[in-house]
Amino acid sequence: MKQNIVAPSIGILLSLSILHGLNDALQSAVTATYPLLKDDLTLSFSQIGLITLVYQIAASVFQPIIGLFYDRHPYVWSLPIGTCFTLVGFISLAFATTLVWAMCSVFMVGIGSSTLHPEASRLTSIASGGKRGMAQSLFQVGGNLGGAIGPLLVAFLAAPYGRRYISFFSILSLIAIIVAIPVCRWYKNRLQLLKQENTTMKVRTESPLPMKMAVFSISILLLLIFSKYVYMASLSSYYTFYLIEKFHVDVQDSQIYLFVFLGATAIGTLLGGPLGDKIGRKYVIWASILGAAPFTLLMPHVNLFWTVVMSFLIGLIISSAFPAILLYAQELLPYKLGLVSGLFFGFAFGVAGIASAILGKMADLHGIETIYQICAYMPLLGIITYLLPNLKKKLPENEI
């Protein structure tokens, strides 16, 4: 079904990107507090993995459910409500004195993430005006920049003074609520307009592929998400510990090196969506995941300088995959944008959580360096991208 082209709502897209950034700054700050939690609560790597598992389950299982719910029952104020969960959970984490308390805190933060990701991603598609690659990359890069800032906040504002100082980071949640207000008003007007025109918020009414092929393609995409996020979990959860143990850097320096990796992921994400619009999402996915393999295989065997360089290159290359994968999936099921967004964000979080728990146990049993030697092979799974059909010519850009 073709409709008149409308210009992208740049102000709304920027606001959604900022919201994503503020949310993910807090999410990555939680991960960056792990060394502080480990020392304060005398935790093992297995217990750190358990905390991550609880958080990732909350941030994954609920995402497709919430996405499907809002597909069927749009609610204007969903974004601020989700942000309130993050605010409460983060303040609670700052003062947690037991493992169970810490797990309950990260569970609240995870619920906030489960609400924001599918709903904000769906609104990004609605506001894109047909330029979905650009819009999704702008949305994703906001999250990646926020994710890169989180460890810096911990490194300079919490690590030197103590974990309770992370409670001040909840100010970011208050800012996010303020930023969300004009988005909610725009969304309310959009819903009223759609109702008056007797239209729906579906980007397309039909899948470009037969249902069996669409389901097969989504299965391939989920396997690619699996390969990407198992490796990403090894970096996001344990990279600081790896640097501290292998190269004897201090906590503050390890957070700065983590920022280098996360900053590279922001750059890669910004490139992934527009490149997919131009050359086809399949080719971006192929180059992103399989192209990172040489560097992941080298990284466990080099010195500190080259480890940082390799982490930057890995982040730059592998991060361009997610916006291409998500948009490919949305194009396969264009009438379920929230469900698809929630499924892929949720599956990514779930894989990362389960992987973190398993990797934590491996680190306790075999040492932190072992997990990088094993996970280095995960990007090789990118070879299965060959099985995806090429949708570039099937999906004209002037059809929304």
Query: Into which CATH architecture does domain 10-394 fall?
Result: Up-down Bundle (1.20)
The DSSP call for residue 7 is -
Average pLDDT, stretch 124-148? 80
- The share of the chain scoring above pLDDT 70, in percent, equals 91
State yes or no: pLDDT of 114 exceeds 90: no
List of E strands, 198-333: none
Question: Which pLDDT does position 265 carry in this prediction?
Answer: 81
Euclidean distance between the first and the last CA atom of the chain, given in angstroms as a whole number: 7
What confidence tier does 196 reach under pLDDT thresholds 50, 70, 90? low
Average pLDDT, stretch 93-104? 91
Question: Which pLDDT does position 4 carry in this prediction?
Answer: 40
Of 242, 274, 269, 246, nearest to 258 by C-alpha is 242
What confidence tier does 2 reach under pLDDT thresholds 50, 70, 90? very low
Highest mean pLDDT among 57-71, 174-188, 266-280, 312-326 belongs to 174-188
What confidence tier does 8 reach under pLDDT thresholds 50, 70, 90? low
What pTM does this model have?
0.69
Angle, nearest 10°, between helix axes 337-366 and 368-375? 130
Question: Which pLDDT does position 207 carry in this prediction?
Answer: 67
**CA distance linking residue 107 with residue 161, whole number of Å:** 25
Question: Which pLDDT does position 395 carry in this prediction?
Answer: 43
pLDDT, one tens digit per residue, over 330-376 is 888 777 777 787 778 777 767 766 777 788 888 888 888 888 888 89
- Regarding predicted confidence, which is higher, 160 or 296? 296
Question: Which pLDDT does position 198 carry in this prediction?
Answer: 52
Radius of gyration of the chain from its Cα atoms, rounded to whole angstroms: 20
**CA distance linking residue 223 with residue 228, whole number of Å:** 9
State yes or no: pLDDT of 190 exceeds 70: yes
Average pLDDT, stretch 59-63? 78
272 to 6, 206, 282: CA distances (angstroms)? 23, 25, 11
State yes or no: pLDDT of 399 exceeds 70: no
Please answer whether residues 73 and 380 qualify as being in contact, where contact means their C-beta atoms are separated by less than 8 angstroms. no
- The share of the chain scoring above pLDDT 90, in percent, equals 20
156: left (phi over 0), alpha (psi -120 to 50) or beta: alpha
What confidence tier does 197 reach under pLDDT thresholds 50, 70, 90? low
State yes or no: pLDDT of 312 exceeds 90: yes
Query: Largest Cα–Cα distance in the chain?
Result: 63
